[in-house]
Amino acid sequence: MNESPSLLTINWNDLKYFLALWRYKRLSVAATKLGVTHVTIANRVECLEKAMDAKLFFQNSKGFHLTKAGEELIPYAEKCERTLRLANESYRSGKEIRSKIRIGVTEGFSNYYLSEYLPAWLKGKNIDIELISLAGVTYISSGEVDISITIGPQKGANIIQKKLTDYTLGLYASKGYIVENDAIQNRSDLVSHPFIGYIEDQVFSDLLKYQNEIAHDLQFVYKSTTIHTQRKAVRTGLGIGILPHFVSYNDDLLAPVLPNFLLHRELWISTSKDLHQFKDLKLTWDFILGSCAQHRSRFIAL
């Protein structure tokens, strides 16, 4: 790699395309995220490579990957990106400009908690929220979201994170199922009952592989990738399901099975250290933390 490329030959805007291709691996995906064509991405990265006098990517069937020179450029490109965002925040601070904050969150927490409280808090504020609710994980290091809420902490550089709340999971069935079937006195009784749960090879986190923590020979008759569809199946009386307390909370159709048997997990909130300096993001961050602390009974079965 040329150790001293001329700064005058570098188009700093090309770093944006370089970072997008690194984060999304494919030209088409990076182009969609930036609202340009894949040809634009390819051309701008090629121009950056010429200016740097180095090959920044190699390509295989799984997409584009960084060369050693590309890896060396990443921290400098990210620093430029962060500096521009901080400069923009400083510029905005004296003006009435609406903030846009993207929050990536697991679909269960979004559907059964955050979507209930966040819109009410947002009223009258000069903030626009984009809530990305997925049966998966959004990573702060990818640059795709400003705040991420995950099961367990994230890994990566330049991240600030905090435990949002502990939560419990328990065994639940419909009240009709409880009435129609033999009483369940202990865990050994569970093997004779139909179960509802996750599809193992589609689970996005090892922390969700809790089915074997109950028993190794459970009879699963219905599996789904989302907690919402699992809850609906349990409510029909099909069988027993493993649900977070905040999903089953105040559901009149559900009843706990072996209520003293609980699994324990944690939700974590994260953002980048630089984004955390933004006033409106900090307001949103503080609200989510405060709200979960206030409604602790929704997350912990007592």
Q: What is the CATH number of the domain that holds 250?
A: 3.40.190.10
d(CA 257, CA 49): 61
Domain hosting 128: range is 99-165+266-298
Instruction: Kindly report the pTM of this predicted structure.
Output: 0.73
Same domain flag for 177 and 63: no
H-helix or E-strand spanning residue 180? helix 175-180
To which residue do tokens 């955390």 refer?
276
Give yes or no: residues 282 and 138 share one domain.
yes
The 10 Å Cβ neighbour count of residue 62 is: 8
Last residue of a domain, one of 30, 58, 92: 92
Distance separating alpha carbons of residues 169 and 134, to the nearest angstrom: 19
pLDDT, tens digit (0-9, with 9 covering 90-100), for 3-46? 555 555 678 888 888 988 988 889 988 888 888 998 999 999 99
Q: What is the pLDDT of residues 187-221, one digit of tens each?
A: 889 989 999 998 877 766 776 777 778 877 889 99
Give yes or no: residues 84 and 30 share one domain: yes
Based on the fold, state whether residues 86 and 135 are members of the same structural domain: no
Identify the residue whose tokens are 């949002």.
Answer: 164
Instruction: Specify the number of domains making up the chain.
Output: 3
For 73, the enclosing helix (H) or strand (E) is: helix 68-92
Q: Does residue 255 lie in a domain region? A: yes
